[in-house]
Chains A and B, each alone.
Chain A
């Protein structure tokens, strides 16, 4: 009998605090969590509860003060800054609330960027960029710059950029928070569809219960503790 697959994200006793002048402010302590590969998880929590901090830790952007943090079997705090960057480049995709597309690159170039950074810019992969753009109805906008797109269009491009290199983990920080209801719904559908196709694990930070309901598992960060809301 084969052993059960190891979880993609493993947190044990994770703690993080920030210095504010002379004082130290604890964001969370003793956080423990496991998320399976391919899962779609929503993370709820009030402002300042540490949701974005947790995403930064999972992406290797920030380091915890205590505990174990493993993503795809790799203990991130053990990596140096360069290795964490390479890890993020290869294994993580990011979708932000404010899109954060590179304003000086065209739509197609923005999507191609992770491929190039990972050395995956083969003709076949580049052809996939065009196909994906067609799929989201932006084939005519591939040479446009982000500022020429609506918010919903920009976020669709951001989703494609985050997933084009098939990362193991997609971190989405309130991806619909800056969009109207219709655009938000369309982006959310796209995100779920693409992560499922790529086999990526999705961790979606949101304030909206409605958005959280679309994910198979819902967690909430409350007063520095993780609470399982669903299932």
Chain B
């Protein structure tokens, strides 16, 4: 292919450095967001894997129970079954006394059984003898990130000092403290129980036979499971969250692709005369197509390189937000490291140029179809574009209908996102017609407008070939941002209503430790006797196996007020609570009912202490506490069937005439002296919960902001280029007597009106997206229903943002033109 052909087109871009830079920046931001989210997600996954691997070593099976495993089972396993490749493990996450909020992963091992498992690595050159841990009390192997020879852990208000008997190496060992099993049991208050027993069984038929025999042999309440399956299931807990982030990042890329499309369309439209000349000289369609597409790929590559750098920087910031959210909502992540995954970089490397090529496909075809010479005038082109608007709008309506139908018929989260993207595309195709509509509307009030606004209004529909895509790109980005904003607001509103309803008691208390420690029986007894209370709710929270999946399980004894806090979506509240007390009945949360397609009257089987037992679902309650579902059972029935007298939390109602503060003082003075308790009023819990909610949506807000920035760059680039391109037209206006200030007003009014079009288009589209996010995406991802709440300020903000971004794009060309003598602009154009 002719190098001169390449040169002739590429030099055009180089002659418009602002346009080129903004295009590259648009692609770079799109790629950066996708890469950053991917890196953050992958880092979270890798951190999880590393934190599992470092304590699992070569173990391929494990024996677990809901409340751990009695130590004697391990002894019998070695003696009766002769399983030598087995080792006990105690694991917990105690807090560092000197660094509030920081936890370590405490691993308790039996040094004598450890050899086959190879699950730790001491520092270089240091021969670490784990037997020292048995011989020296409070000896521990320290992680590389805790300096010094001692560290202080805190549990139940009591401090435990550990002394360094060795040190692990490598970043993968961060936050891991190894002690002997007895020390760990003591520190974590486990008594004679261990967390699990790790096993190495052969990976063949013999291994499977041994596993089957072992399952028969295990006492009730214990399970033998493959380590990898359990770890995968745990990692799966946050899958929907990670998928949602990925989708949001893809939205940024979609907006980025719009920008590339916009840039390339613009570049092609601008160069129509040039392309026509080349066609007249004999350049073939295929050659022009390849050159324009190649140009887009080159831009994509440049954007990708910049985007990769930005993405790595952004990803290293996002990983903290993502891991904190996973930590808040799903499971403990002791490692929170940023991993630069080559696969993520490769994906971004492919994504940028591919997205650029895809986005440039249509403009490249248009370039190739340019008629030779200057047969097609600009006026003809614009009138063609105007004529295409109804067709595009019709296609947009078709896509909206197809998206709606798809969402209605499909199931699954990915299918939901596909439907969402169809709707977005439909909205995008509808928006280029808006400038025409606004121009028409302005004509109705023509005489009332100042002259510059009248001129600006007239030109609205005259540059559709240049502005149509820009308006569509901005409206899609704003719609996406508005949709996500409304969804988050609705979600927050829903959570707040739910919490206010649920938190009916005045004072809530739990052990200070958040590691499953129970309230002591004497504390519960003291609470019951407390004269300042008029009602007491007791709860036991734990996880339970449901068809192989760990599910939140709450056994409750609630006052009528406490029961009223649970809003039943299905089932009769009166009979349901009665059934709970009287028989084998449970209430289940909405997400669980949605995921398992359960309804009142259905039965589920739970593993009790005496083995599996069927329970009837008598109601479905509204619950945002866990996307994986919760089961509610009567406390007395639970204690009888699971033989577990422990109480996890309690809540109290103040007696008449007693304020919350008086109740708090009474608890602190009485039961609070028996155990270190965390006391919180319902207001405290509400505030704390909403703070956690806001924290978990920080990452969403960051991504939302990035999408808007990408769109902002897009609109800036498109409108800037348009106004600069029209320098001659504006110079003529200057020549016939328009003042620079009037010209500035005209140019800014033109771009602001285009921004208004985009902002107005974004409103219905954004609300539609919000509805889909709430009714389809959230439902499929998390299984809960949310109220639809729209803050009018958000709508005003959306339009204001669009107008401001667009008006800003008119400022620079106006400033530049005001400083240029009209004669010069007329001559050089």
Determine the chain B residues whose CB is within 8 A of the CB of A117 once the complex forms.
2, 5, 281-283
Query: Residue A147 contacts which of B7, B274, B828 (CB distance < 8 angstroms)?
Result: B828
Query: Which B118-152 residues have C-beta < 8 A from chain A?
Result: none
B4 x A112 contact (CB < 8 A):
yes
Given A56-B373, A82-B284, decide whether A116 and B2 contact each other with a Cβ distance below 8 A.
Answer: yes
B327 to chain A, nearest CB (A): 55
Given A81-B285, A86-B284, A100-B280, decide whether A56 and B2 contact each other with a Cβ distance below 8 A.
Answer: no
Residue A114 at the chain B interface, CB threshold 8 Å: yes
Residue B269 at the chain A interface, CB threshold 8 Å: no
Given A104-B9, A105-B8, A113-B2, decide whether A89 and B372 contact each other with a Cβ distance below 8 A.
Answer: no
Per-position binary interface string of chain A over residues 24-37, scored 1 when its CB falls under 8 Å from any chain B CB and 0 otherwise: 00000000000000
B12 x A104 contact (CB < 8 A):
yes
Docked Cα-Cα span, A61 to B279, in Å, equals 9
B383 to chain A, nearest CB (A): 11
Residue of B whose beta carbon sits closest to that of A99: B277
Query: Which B358-408 residues have C-beta < 8 A from chain A?
Result: 371-375
B373 x A61 contact (CB < 8 A):
yes
A185 to chain B, nearest CB (A): 25
Docked Cα-Cα span, A86 to B286, in Å, equals 12
Q: Report whether over half of chain A's contact residues are helix, strand or loop; otherwise say mixed.
A: helix
A115 to chain B, nearest CB (A): 9
Determine the chain A residues whose CB is within 8 A of the CB of B10 once the complex forms.
104
A-B pair number, CB within 8 angstroms: 84
B280 x A109 contact (CB < 8 A):
no
Query: Which B1-30 residues have C-beta < 8 A from chain A?
Result: 2-5, 7-12, 15
Residue B586 at the chain A interface, CB threshold 8 Å: no
Residue B767 at the chain A interface, CB threshold 8 Å: no
Determine the chain A residues whose CB is within 8 A of the CB of B286 once the complex forms.
82
Residue B278 at the chain A interface, CB threshold 8 Å: yes
What is the interface residue range for chain A against chain B?
Answer: 20 to 34
Docked Cα-Cα span, A62 to B375, in Å, equals 10
Per-position binary interface string of chain B over residues 628-666, scored 1 when its CB falls under 8 Å from any chain A CB and 0 otherwise: 000000000000000000000000000000000000000
A104 x B7 contact (CB < 8 A):
yes
Residue of A whose beta carbon sits closest to that of B9: A104
Query: Residue B283 contacts which of A62, A85, A103, A109 (CB distance < 8 angstroms)?
Result: A85
Docked Cα-Cα span, A147 to B5, in Å, equals 19
Determine the chain A residues whose CB is within 8 A of the CB of B375 once the complex forms.
56, 61-62
Docked Cα-Cα span, A59 to B375, in Å, equals 13
A25 to chain B, nearest CB (A): 15
Docked Cα-Cα span, A96 to B282, in Å, equals 15
B274 x A82 contact (CB < 8 A):
no
A61 to chain B, nearest CB (A): 4
Query: Which A97-130 residues have C-beta < 8 A from chain B?
Result: 100-105, 109, 112-114, 116-118
Docked Cα-Cα span, A61 to B374, in Å, equals 11
Docked Cα-Cα span, A85 to B280, in Å, equals 8
B373 x A116 contact (CB < 8 A):
no
A144 to chain B, nearest CB (A): 14
Docked Cα-Cα span, A90 to B283, in Å, equals 11
Determine the chain B residues whose CB is within 8 A of the CB of A56 once the complex forms.
372-373, 375
Residue of B whose beta carbon sits closest to that of A94: B280
Residue A88 at the chain B interface, CB threshold 8 Å: yes
Residue of B whose beta carbon sits closest to that of A104: B11
A105 x B7 contact (CB < 8 A):
yes
Residue of B whose beta carbon sits closest to that of A87: B282
Determine the chain A residues whose CB is within 8 A of the CB of B274 once the complex forms.
102-104
What is the interface residue range for chain B against chain A?
Answer: 20 to 34
- Residue of B11, B279, B280, B281 with most partner-chain A CB within 10 A: B281
Residue of A whose beta carbon sits closest to that of B273: A100
Docked Cα-Cα span, A164 to B366, in Å, equals 30
B281 x A116 contact (CB < 8 A):
no
A86 to chain B, nearest CB (A): 7
Determine the chain B residues whose CB is within 8 A of the CB of A88 once the complex forms.
280-282, 372
A89 x B281 contact (CB < 8 A):
yes
Query: Residue A109 contacts which of B4, B279, B281, B828 (CB distance < 8 angstroms)?
Result: B4
Determine the chain A residues whose CB is within 8 A of the CB of B12 once the complex forms.
104
A163 to chain B, nearest CB (A): 13
A102 x B277 contact (CB < 8 A):
yes
A171 to chain B, nearest CB (A): 10
Residue of A whose beta carbon sits closest to that of B372: A61
Query: Which A47-85 residues have C-beta < 8 A from chain B?
Result: 56, 59, 61-62, 81-82, 85
Determine the chain B residues whose CB is within 8 A of the CB of A86 once the complex forms.
282, 284
Determine the chain A residues whose CB is within 8 A of the CB of B15 once the complex forms.
104
- Residue of B4, B11, B12 with most partner-chain A CB within 10 A: B4
Per-position binary interface string of chain A over residues 122-166, scored 1 when its CB falls under 8 Å from any chain B CB and 0 otherwise: 000000000000000000000000010000000000000100000
Determine the chain A residues whose CB is within 8 A of the CB of B11 once the complex forms.
104-105
B280 x A90 contact (CB < 8 A):
no
A109 x B373 contact (CB < 8 A):
no
A82 x B3 contact (CB < 8 A):
no
Docked Cα-Cα span, A88 to B371, in Å, equals 13
B368 to chain A, nearest CB (A): 10
Residue of B whose beta carbon sits closest to that of A100: B277
Docked Cα-Cα span, A112 to B7, in Å, equals 12
Query: Which B266-311 residues have C-beta < 8 A from chain A?
Result: 273-274, 277-286
Docked Cα-Cα span, A12 to B584, in Å, equals 99
B282 x A118 contact (CB < 8 A):
yes
A89 x B277 contact (CB < 8 A):
no
- Residue of A81, A113, A161 with most partner-chain B CB within 10 A: A113
Determine the chain A residues whose CB is within 8 A of the CB of B283 once the complex forms.
85, 89, 117
Query: Residue B280 contacts which of A61, A81, A112, A116 (CB distance < 8 angstroms)?
Result: A61
Docked Cα-Cα span, A105 to B8, in Å, equals 5
Per-position binary interface string of chain A over residues 2-43, scored 1 when its CB falls under 8 Å from any chain B CB and 0 otherwise: 000000000000000000000000000000000000000000
Docked Cα-Cα span, A56 to B279, in Å, equals 12
Query: Residue B373 contacts which of A100, A103, A105, A161 (CB distance < 8 angstroms)?
Result: A100
Determine the chain A residues whose CB is within 8 A of the CB of B273 once the complex forms.
100
A107 to chain B, nearest CB (A): 12
- Residue of A62, A82, A92, A104 with most partner-chain B CB within 10 A: A104
Residue of B whose beta carbon sits closest to that of A88: B282
Residue of B whose beta carbon sits closest to that of A62: B375
Docked Cα-Cα span, A102 to B372, in Å, equals 13
A102 x B278 contact (CB < 8 A):
yes
B4 x A85 contact (CB < 8 A):
no
Given A104-B12, A104-B15, A105-B4, decide whether A59 and B281 contact each other with a Cβ distance below 8 A.
Answer: no
- Residue of A61, A85, A118 with most partner-chain B CB within 10 A: A85
Docked Cα-Cα span, A92 to B11, in Å, equals 26
Docked Cα-Cα span, A82 to B11, in Å, equals 26
A85 x B284 contact (CB < 8 A):
yes
Residue of A whose beta carbon sits closest to that of B271: A104
Docked Cα-Cα span, A147 to B828, in Å, equals 8
Docked Cα-Cα span, A217 to B828, in Å, equals 39
Docked Cα-Cα span, A12 to B5, in Å, equals 36
Residue of B whose beta carbon sits closest to that of A101: B277
Docked Cα-Cα span, A92 to B284, in Å, equals 14
B183 to chain A, nearest CB (A): 76
Given A104-B9, A147-B828, decide whether A116 and B277 contact each other with a Cβ distance below 8 A.
Answer: no
A109 x B282 contact (CB < 8 A):
no
A101 to chain B, nearest CB (A): 8
A104 x B8 contact (CB < 8 A):
yes
18 inter-chain pairs at a CB distance below 8 angstroms, sorted by A residue, are: A56-B372, A56-B373, A59-B280, A61-B372, A82-B286, A85-B372, A88-B281, A102-B8, A102-B277, A104-B7, A104-B11, A105-B4, A109-B7, A113-B8, A117-B5, A117-B282, A117-B283, A118-B282
| A contact set with B: CB distance below 8 Å | 56, 59, 61-62, 81-82, 85-86, 88-90, 92, 94, 96, 100-105, 109, 112-114, 116-118, 147, 161
What 14 new A-B contacts, CB under 8 Å, besides A94-B280, A100-B273?
A: A56-B372, A56-B373, A61-B372, A61-B373, A61-B375, A62-B375, A88-B281, A102-B274, A105-B7, A109-B4, A113-B281, A114-B282, A118-B282, A147-B828
Top 8 nearest A-B pairs by Cβ distance?
A89-B282, A104-B11, A116-B2, A61-B372, A102-B8, A104-B8, A100-B277, A113-B4
